[in-house]
Amino acid sequence: MKDENAPQPADAQAGLEQELLEVRARLSELQMLFDEAPEAIFVLQGGDVKLHNKKTREVLGYEEEELKGLPFYHHIHPDDREMVLERYIKRQTGKGFPYPYRIRILKKNGDQVEGSLSAARIEWRGEPAVLCVVRDHTRQAKAEALWRPFPSKGPGSSLPPL
């Protein structure tokens, strides 16, 4: 005797196809958020960039394929490398420290990017990794440098003399 209320193979197949469409749509939305984020977002594993978004490529000045597997340490300003490496190792071992912190990055063309780095230890494809977010402060740093030579003459007098 056939149970008419039991799921039929065609119904099960249609249900799976619908779930697959929903998963694909969700993945597409997440990919769009990742790619269009206003911050550089990337995953470091073993010191190499394993995953990155469009803003990361803009900040570093590389094309997508050039950046995959590239050692990130190479792009840290020489004066910041020891600090960044020390914090990377601490993060990999689960030890915490204050963040975000200031960092100077070197672009492919040698230009310097002023930024702040926030990071978190994650698992990436079954191995320890670090999820990094860099906010580019280069414009702000340049603007601040322009204002430094002008002494303040009290509240509300931050504009340079005419």
Structural domains in the chain?
A: 38-147 (3.30.450.20)
Q: What is the residue type of 29?
A: E
- What are residue 101's phi and psi, to 5 degrees? -135, 155
Closest by CA to 39, choosing from 97, 129, 96, 118, is 118
Q: Specify the DSSP class assigned to residue 116.
A: E
pLDDT in the model for residue 143: 75
88: Cα separation from own chain's centroid: 15
pLDDT tens digits in sequence order for the chain, 162 residues long: 566 666 667 787 888 888 888 999 999 998 899 899 999 999 988 888 899 999 999 999 999 888 876 788 888 999 999 988 888 777 777 776 667 889 999 999 999 999 999 988 899 999 988 899 999 988 777 777 777 666 555 555 554 544
Classify the C-alpha dihedral 97-101-34-57 as positive or negative: negative
